[in-house]
Structure 1
Amino acid sequence: MQIEQPKTLTEIVVERLREAIIDGQYAFGENISEDKLATAFGVSRSPVRDALNALQFTGLVTIRPKRGSFVFKPTGEEVAEICDYRLMLEREALRLAMAADRDGFLAALDDKLDQMRERMRAGDEIGYVRIDTEFHNLFFDHCGNRLVQNAFDLVEARIATIRTALNARFKQRREDSFDQHVAIVDGLKRDDWATVYEVLGKHITSIRTDAIDELARNPVES
């Protein structure tokens, strides 16, 4: 019978700013003005400052003394490290999720595929990418291991932001990504782990390559 406590102003600002960064409303390396955020949210600078500090912990924001706060701007090397880390965790999370809740996990994945297909047909780029993120998060929601979940939380927001920067902008990229999701689920249903690992590896490697190329073509001044 516990009553849910209302969210603080800082928590509300964290959620809204996190969503804005992931959805691509801010570019990599873009300055985030405390004053503008405070005005936009109708709050003082204090909760905005606290929110930026919280988002710095997740890696979404970089705070530079006397210069301001900026959206994270990964280097090619950092993108490679994030993708390697992601592949390692997602492979293990898939194995654990299938062992812990095979039927429930597969049903949840099928539901996300249906939602992604609908968003593609509707031409809803941001909606598609959000569900894409939810699809991959299911690996960890069903894996039954809090340590693996916590390990993924360290990079989840940065992965989602990189995903948006690629999939929301390029139709072919979304179509290829969707086909890979379908292949992963089909492989899981057949217990064909060789195919699952191969497709997942290609899926994440292609994001790694495309993200590094995109950052090289569109550098952001520090």
Structure 2
Amino acid sequence: MLSNGLSQGSVPRLGRPQPLRDRVYEALLELISTRSLRPGQHLVEAELAGHLGVSRQPVREALQRLNTEGWVDLRPAQGAFVHEPSGDETDQLFVVRALLETEAARLAAAASSAEGLERLDELCATGEAAVAADDVDTVVVANAEFHARVMELAGNTVLAELAAHVERRVRRYYTPIVHQAWVEHRELIEAIAAHDEGRAQRVMRAHTQDARTRFPPRPTT
């Protein structure tokens, strides 16, 4: 365990066939969004470079990009730190997520297919089983895939891209481990299957707006 809190086996070493700055950026972004690197944590270039098996230069470039995008704070004479959002910032993020997801639910209800509904049902069953088993990692993956599938059924590429960006940020704040979240997923499937756009909107709006206060925070690793 190094001083930045990462274990030696928690970070994959990177190869060199592509521009390293992009691969380092993606690796660090994943570590931040999954809380392997925690909000407020000091990011030491040399240690990150050692973990990733690269030089410090692509790490420095990646940190600068992450700073521009709001994932990292670069503080003069102190270094880089994982961004720690304020309560207002988090609330605003969940509001935007609710808007995007609610519109996606409406569009999905208008254009759902038997195949799409079957996949939603499978993902919901996976999530429900994982909740019962207290399998947090599987729950998180199933939840993300469920919402991504709704976005896919909506058929709006731009909406899906925006939602994916927001969802990655939201992943830092909660784990949809509670049973009620999956009850609401079932209700959403029913609304989409019935092509009931209004009900799909109402279910998704309540589901996403309540996430800020109802779901527990992601555990610190």
Whether TM exceeds 0.5 here: the answer is: yes
C-alpha contact 2:188 2:200 (8 A) present in aligned 1 = yes
Higher helix proportion (structure 1 or 2): 1
C-alpha contact 2:148 2:160 (8 A) present in aligned 1 = no
Aligned residue in 1 for 2:54? 43
**Amino acid across the alignment from 1:115:** T
Deviation at 1:39, TM superposition (A): 1.0
Segment drifting more, 49-58 vs 79-88:
49-58
**Amino acid across the alignment from 2:183:** D
Aligned residue in 2 for 1:174? 178
C-alpha contact 2:112 2:193 (8 A) present in aligned 1 = no
Residue in structure 2 matching 1:86, options 84, 97, 118: 97
Aligned residue in 2 for 1:69? 80
Tell me the distance in 2 between the aligned counterparts of 1:174 and 1:42.
38
Aligned residue in 1 for 2:212? 208
Tell me the distance in 2 between the aligned counterparts of 1:195 and 1:96.
12
Aligned residue in 2 for 1:197? 201
Tell me the distance in 1 between the aligned counterparts of 2:207 and 2:107.
20
**Amino acid across the alignment from 2:182:** F
Matches within 5 A, 1:1-222: 6-164=17-175, 167=176, 173-210=177-214
CA distance 1:20–1:127, shift in 2 (3 Å): farther
Tell me the distance in 2 between the aligned counterparts of 1:149 and 1:15.
19
CA distance 1:192–1:97, shift in 2 (3 Å): closer
CA distance 1:190–1:143, shift in 2 (3 Å): closer
**CA deviation vs aligned residue, 1:55-75 (integer Å, no higher than 9, x gap):** 335433233333322222222
C-alpha contact 1:58 1:157 (8 A) present in aligned 2 = no
**CA deviation vs aligned residue, 1:79-126 (integer Å, no higher than 9, x gap):** 221111111111112222344453343223122212223433443212
Any unmatched runs of 5+ in structure 2? 1-16
What TM-score, normalized by structure 1, do the two folds share? 0.76
CA distance 1:43–1:181, shift in 2 (3 Å): same
CA distance 1:78–1:21, shift in 2 (3 Å): same
Aligned residue in 1 for 2:9? none
Aligned Cα root-mean-square deviation (Å): 2.8
**CA deviation vs aligned residue, 1:8-40 (integer Å, no higher than 9, x gap):** 333332333222222222322222222211111
- Residue identity over aligned pairs, in percent, reads 31
C-alpha contact 1:59 1:155 (8 A) present in aligned 2 = no
Any unmatched runs of 5+ in structure 1? 1-5, 168-172, 216-222
C-alpha contact 2:107 2:197 (8 A) present in aligned 1 = no
Aligned with 2:207: secondary structure? helix
